[in-house]
Structure 1
Amino acid sequence: MNLAELIEVIQTQKTERMVEAVVTSLTTDSRDVKPGTLFVAIKGYTVDGHDYAKQAEAQGAVAIVSERLLDVTIPVILVRSTTRAMAELAGKFYDYPSEKMRMIGITGTNGKTTTTTIVRDVLAQLGRKTGIIGTVEVKIGDRVVPSRNTTPQSSELQAFFHQMHQEGVEDVIMEVSSHGLELGRVTGTDFDVAGFTNLTHDHLDFHKTFENYARAKGLLFAQLGQRLSDKKVAVLNADDEISHLFEMMTGARVLTYGIEQPADLQAKNITQTLQETTFTMVYQEQAVELTVQFIGRFNVYNLLLATGILLSIGYSLTEISNAITQIQPAKGRMQRLPIDGYNIYVDYAHTPDGIEQCLKALVDVPKENIIFLIGTGGNRDVTKRPMMGQLASTYAGTVVITTDDPRFESYESITSGIASGMLHDQFVEIGDREEAVRYAASLARPDNIVILAGKGHEKYQIIGDEKTPLDEEALVKEMIRQLEEKK
C-alpha cells in the first residue's frame, strides 16, 4: 500500500522527509522489520520502541511513526499516540477484516476462556467455520496459530483477522483483556456482540484502582457504537453490579443473564456433582433442562453467557442447549486429570474470586479431604495475595502455597504474602512449583481431592524472563505411579 494513502487514516502532527514509498508490512517490533516495513515506535513498560529507530532504519524500514523527533534519514510521521495510530493503520492496511466476519468479544476477570471455548464449540457444531483468539491459543478452524499476547498487538490482531477472513472464517470469538482495551489494541475492531463474565480483584498492579479496572473493561461496550441500525448486543451479568455501569456505557441492545437477580436468561434448579451439573435454562417463557459435563456454579454463569451470545445472533434456545450438552470443558479449567482411582484437577484460578469459585465447585466434599495447591505470579498485584490465602484456607483443609510465574521476585516474598492470609496452620510453603506439585500429588488418595491451581493449561513457568517447561500433568502421573508401586 502507498505510504501517503495509508497514513491518511491517522491524525498526524508533522511529517518529515516524506517520499513516495510502498508499505509491505507493519510492526511495532524492530526485530520484525524488513525492507518495506512501516515501523511504529511504541513506548512500553520495559522497552521503548523509539530507541530502536536506527535499527529499524538499518533493516529497511520505509518510514517510522513516532511520538517524537528521531535521528534517522527516512520519513518520520509524528502523532500524539503511536498506540492508537497503529490500530488505525493496521485496520486500513488489512482492509478492515473485522467488518467482514461476525465478531464476538468476551471480557471479564474470570471465565473468558471457558466461555469463548463454549461459543466456538457450539458454533462449530452448528456448521460455522470459526476463529478463536484467547489465552490458551489462537485457532483458525482446527489449526493452532502462534500468538505472543492474550490480546495481541493491534497489528498482529488485524493480521490474524485478515488471515481468518482469507481462510473462510465466519465467526471470530475473542477474549478481550483489560490490558488490550486500555492499551488500544482492539481499537478499530468492529465487534457485533460483547459479553461480560464478572469483575473481581485482579490486575491492580496495572490499573491501580478497581474503578480504573472497571472502566477499562467497559471500553468494550462503549466501543459497540451508537448506530441503532447496527444490531449490536451487549450480554451482561445481572448478578454483577458493574453491569449497570456497562449498560450505561453502551449504545447497543442489552441482553442480561443471571441466577440470583431477574434477567432475560436465567438458570434455575441447579444441582451439582463432581462429574456434572444439571439445571434449567429459562428464556422468554421457554424452559429447557440440561445436564452438562461442567462442574461448579461459576460454569453455570459461563454457560449462560455463551447461551446469551448465541441467542443474540439468532440461534434458538433448543439448538443451543442441544449443542451444549455435547461439549467438554476448556483445557485447564477444573479439568480432571485422567488418572484412574484418583481425583486430581488442574485449574487456572489465580485470583481471589477464581479460587473461591473453584473450591465451591467441590460440592459435598468434606473440607479435610481437599488438598489445594495455590500459587501467584511474581512482580504483580501483591494486594490480592492475603485474600487468596484466606479463601484457600476457608474451603481447603490442606493448602500447599507456591508460585506460578515468579519472574524476578523471590519465592519467599510471594509465598509469605499468601501465607499471611491463612486462617489455619495446615499449610506448607514450597516456592519451587515443580517441588510443590510433586508434594501435593504425594498427598493424593482415592478418598480425597487434589487441585493444582494457578497454571491451568499452561506448560511452562516464567522464571526471570525465561519460559521454563513445566508439565504438571506429567509430574502428577509420575508421582502417582511411584505411590502405586509402594503399595
Structure 2
Amino acid sequence: MATTLLDLTKLIDGTLKGSFTDAGDNLSITAIGLDSAYLPEPQAIFAAVPGTRAHGAQFAAKDDAAQAVAILTDEEGYEILHEAGDTRPVIVVEDVRKVLGIASASVYDDPSKDFVLIGITGTSGKTTTSYLLEKGLMEAGHKVGLIGTTGTRIDGVEVPTKLTTPEAPTLQTLFSRMRDHGVTHVVMEVSSHALALGRVAGSHFDVAAFTNLSQDHLDFHPTMDEYFDAKALFFRGNSPLAAEKHVVCVDDAWGIRMAEEAANAQTVATRGQDADFRAAEITVSESGAQRFQILTPDKQIWDVELALPGAFNVANATLAFATAARAGVDMQAFARGMSKVTVPGRMERIDEGQDFLAVVDYAHKPAAVAAVLDTLRTQIDGRLGVVIGAGGDRDATKRGPMGQLSAQRADLVIVTDDNPRSEVPALIRAAVTKGADEGAAESAREVEVLEIGDRAEAIRVLVEWAQPGDGIVVAGKGHEVGQLVAGVTHHFDDREQVRAALNNKLPLNTEEG
C-alpha cells in the first residue's frame, strides 16, 4: 500500500513546501532514494542530504536524470531548490538522515514486520555468526535473507550491495524484495555506523545479538565508550532502535556491561562463566574442527559439531544457537545446519598439497589478529608467520597495536599494504612496523620483522619461508578481491595469491640425481 506525500510529511514531522497544486500532497510515493541519477520508480521521492563537499539538493536541482516527483531535504536544501526555480513539492525536516529510515520503511509498507528480523552487532564475529544463523535456519526449513559484509543473499542467491549495512532506502528496498520472495527470516550484520547514523531506523528487529567489542572505528567513534554507546542503541530499552529480544556474549567486559544495560537479554558464555547458554566440553581435532556442548536455560544439553577452528568460533556458534533459540527455531535442525558452515576469508585454509598450514583471514583489528594467531599456534608444531597491514583513511591508532600483537605471537611478521586508500602507504607501514618492532623486543622468542610494500611479494616471501609443520596466515583482506590505492581499486585476492605462491614453491628436500 503506497503512502501519500502528506502522510509521509506527517509521519516524519516535516513541513510541506513548494509551489505545487493543491493535489500535490496526495501524490502517491512508491520509492525513495539517495542517488539523484538513479531512482527506482517514477513515483519516487529523492532524499537530498548535506554532504562533505556539496548538498544533495544541488544535484536534484540541476541533474536532468533526477526524475523524482518530490524532494525530502532540510532547510538549506530547500533554499537551494527554491533559488534554482524547482517547483516540485518538498518535505523539509531538521535532519534528513534522522528520519530517513522511518520514511523509507513507510514508503515500502514496513516490510520488516512481515518476517523475523535478526541483527548481529559487535566488533568481530558478525559475519561468521550470520553465516551460522543463515545455514541453521535454512536447515530448519526457513527461507532466509542475509545482509552483511560479504554481500546479500535471498534464499542462497547473491544480490549485489556495497555496505555492511546499506543506507536506509536500499535496506528497505531489500527488505521489500525479500518479503516479495516469501522470505521468513532475515539475518543481517548491523554496524555501529548504521546504528549511529540511523540506517536501521524503522526496522523491526525481533532479536539482536552482541558478539564482543574491541578497538575499531575510533576514527568515527572518538572513544571506546562512544563506540559502545553506538552498539548499545540496539539493546537499551529506551532506544527507538532496540530489538524486542537480546542475546549478549559475556566473554569480555564489554559484553558484561551490555548485558547489564540490555532491556530483555539472555547471555552466552564460553569461558566457564555463568550464563543462560554455556559452551562446555570443547574438543579440537587435528584439522581444527571442533565438538562441544551447549547447555541451555531449560537444562538441555546439545551436542554441536563445528567445521570452523578457533575458540572465538565456539563463541560465534553458541551465540548463533542462542539467537535462533530466542527466535523459536527447531534447534535440532539448526545445530545440524551449523555443522556444515564454512565462511569465505574467515580462517579459510588454502591447501595445495603443502606440508604446512596456510590460512587467509579477514582479521584487521588488533584483538582479531591476536585471536587468529593464538588459534593457529595451537594447531601447529612448528613456527608461525603472518602477513599484516592496516587500511588507510581509517582508525590510525590501531596500527601499532596490530604490529605489536602480531610480533608477540609470531616468529615472522611481514608488514605490507592493505587498502592504503588516499594515504601514503609507506607511512602506514611505518606505524605497523614500529609496533611490530616493539612486540618483537618484548617477545621471549626470536622474531623477524620485515617490511615489504608489495602485498603479492610479501605473500610469496611468507610462503617461501614456511617449512614442514609451520603455520602461516595472510591477515586483513579475507574475502575481499580488491586493493584500493589512491582512489583506484586493483584486483587482488589473498587466496589467489597464496595458491599461486604455493604452486610456485619448489618441493623441500629435493635431490638432484
TM-score category of the 2 structures, normalised to the smaller one: over 0.9
| Residue of structure 1 equivalent to 2:265 | 254
**Is 1:476 paired with 2:488?**
no
**Counterpart code for 1:32:** Y
| Residue of structure 2 equivalent to 1:241 | 253
| Residue of structure 1 equivalent to 2:311 | 297
**With structure 1 as the length reference, what TM-score do the two structures score?**
0.93
Q: C-alpha displacement at 1:183, in angstroms? A: 0.7
Give the alignment partner of residue 62 of structure 2, picking from 38, 49, 55: 55
* 1:195-344 alignment runs, 5 A limit: 195-222=209-236, 232-251=244-263, 253-260=264-271, 261-272=273-284, 273-283=286-296, 284-315=298-329, 317-325=331-339, 327-341=340-354, 342-344=356-358
**Counterpart code for 1:156:** T
Which stretch has the larger CA shift, 155-164 or 477-486?
477-486
| Residue of structure 2 equivalent to 1:106 | 120
CA–CA distance in structure 2, aligned partners of residues 433 and 195 of structure 1: 35
| Residue of structure 1 equivalent to 2:145 | 131
CA–CA distance in structure 1, aligned partners of residues 169 and 134 of structure 2: 24
**Alpha-carbon displacement from aligned partner over 1:68-87 (angstroms, at most 9, x marks no partner):** 22233122221011112221
Q: What is the identity percentage for the equivalent residue pairs of Structure 1 and Structure 2?
A: 33
Unaligned stretches of 5+ in structure 2?
441-446
CA–CA distance in structure 2, aligned partners of residues 51 and 307 of structure 1: 48
Q: C-alpha displacement at 1:45, in angstroms? A: 4.6
Q: C-alpha displacement at 1:265, in angstroms? A: 0.6
Asked whether the 8 Å contact 1:369–1:448 carries over to 2, the reply is yes
| Residue of structure 1 equivalent to 2:443 | none
CA–CA distance in structure 2, aligned partners of residues 306 and 42 of structure 1: 36
CA–CA distance in structure 1, aligned partners of residues 469 and 212 of structure 2: 33
Q: C-alpha displacement at 1:231, in angstroms? A: 9.7
CA–CA distance in structure 2, aligned partners of residues 376 and 224 of structure 1: 37
**Is 1:75 paired with 2:89?**
yes
**Counterpart code for 2:46:** F
**Counterpart code for 2:406:** A
CA–CA distance in structure 1, aligned partners of residues 308 and 53 of structure 2: 40
**RMSD value, Cα:** 2.4
Which stretch has the larger CA shift, 280-289 or 117-126?
280-289
Q: C-alpha displacement at 1:412, in angstroms? A: 1.0
Unaligned stretches of 5+ in structure 1?
none
Q: C-alpha displacement at 1:57, in angstroms? A: 6.2
Asked whether the 8 Å contact 2:138–2:144 carries over to 1, the reply is yes
Which stretch has the larger CA shift, 359-368 or 328-337?
359-368
CA distance 1:185–1:463, shift in 2 (3 Å): same
Asked whether the 8 Å contact 2:387–2:413 carries over to 1, the reply is yes
| Residue of structure 2 equivalent to 1:26 | 32
**Alpha-carbon displacement from aligned partner over 1:424-446 (angstroms, at most 9, x marks no partner):** 25111122323322322332333
**Counterpart code for 1:217:** K
CA distance 1:335–1:46, shift in 2 (3 Å): farther
CA–CA distance in structure 1, aligned partners of residues 331 and 8 of structure 2: 45
CA–CA distance in structure 1, aligned partners of residues 20 and 224 of structure 2: 44
CA distance 1:155–1:443, shift in 2 (3 Å): same
Asked whether the 8 Å contact 1:224–1:250 carries over to 2, the reply is no
| Residue of structure 2 equivalent to 1:169 | 183
**Alpha-carbon displacement from aligned partner over 1:264-311 (angstroms, at most 9, x marks no partner):** 111122233442122222113222333321111100110110011011
**Counterpart code for 2:352:** I
**Counterpart code for 2:466:** A
Q: C-alpha displacement at 1:18, in angstroms? A: 4.0
**Counterpart code for 1:17:** S
CA distance 1:4–1:317, shift in 2 (3 Å): closer
Specify the SS of the correspondent of 1:400. strand
**Counterpart code for 1:330:** V
Asked whether the 8 Å contact 1:333–1:347 carries over to 2, the reply is yes
